[in-house]
């Protein structure tokens, strides 16, 4: 397990038993921090990126999403979309549907948990599994930050932001 401080975020990157990270966990934390920055995530805050396998993702996918079989990444945000800046293509009803969550003074919010299947990354992109895993980290973080890909305009904006984060670009 790794606990990395990527100011102003604290990012934990544990692996489930039997799962080995093919990418250094500090690299995963830095990548997640860049995605949080680009998405305008509140700070200071914490985030957990859990590295797992197809069996766990299949069970979680069925339990929480109602879909059978494994998936590559699941995100469990703890803050409503209104805690993050609006973005292109975002359905305004999504922002209005959830009230803001208020924390006690001096508290730092936990943004949520992301669970990735390392096994699925290797299955989906056998030629470039490390790049696939990096993309899944960024994709999961953007879901935590209120991004979705159900609407074409938002999907296109999300993909563009993923490319920007993966290229290492910072700023607007």
CATH no. for residue 125? 3.40.390.30
In a domain, 172, yes or no: no
CB of 98 within 8 A of CB of 91?
no
Report how far apart, in Å, the C-alpha atoms of 72 and of each of 5, 30, 61, 82, 132 are: 25, 20, 10, 26, 10
User: What does pTM read for this prediction?
Assistant: 0.89
Q: What is the pLDDT of residue 82?
A: 80
* pLDDT tens profile 35-44: 999 999 999 9
* pLDDT tens profile 150-166: 889 999 999 999 999 99
Number of domains in the chain: 1
């Amino acid at each position: 397990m790794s606990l990395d401080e990527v100011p102003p975020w604290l990012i934990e990157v544990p692996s489930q038993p039997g799962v080995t990270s093919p990418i250094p966990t500090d690299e995963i934390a830095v990548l997640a921090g860049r995605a949080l920055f680009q998405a305008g995530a509140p700070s200071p805050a914490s985030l957990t990126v859990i590295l797992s396998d197809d069996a766990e993702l299949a069970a979680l996918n069925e339990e929480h999403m109602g879909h059978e079989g494994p998936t590559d990444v699941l995100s469990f945000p703890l803050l409503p979309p209104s805690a993050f800046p609006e973005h292109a293509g975002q359905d305004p009803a999504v922002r209005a549907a959830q009230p803001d969550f208020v924390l006690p003074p001096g508290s730092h919010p936990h943004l949520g948990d992301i669970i990735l299947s390392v096994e699925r990354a290797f299955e989906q992109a056998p030629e470039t599994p490390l790049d696939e895993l990096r993309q899944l980290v960024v994709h999961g973080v953007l879901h935590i930050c209120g991004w979705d890909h159900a609407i074409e305009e938002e999907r296109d904006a999300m993909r563009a932001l993923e490319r920007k984060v993966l290229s290492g670009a910072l700023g607007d």
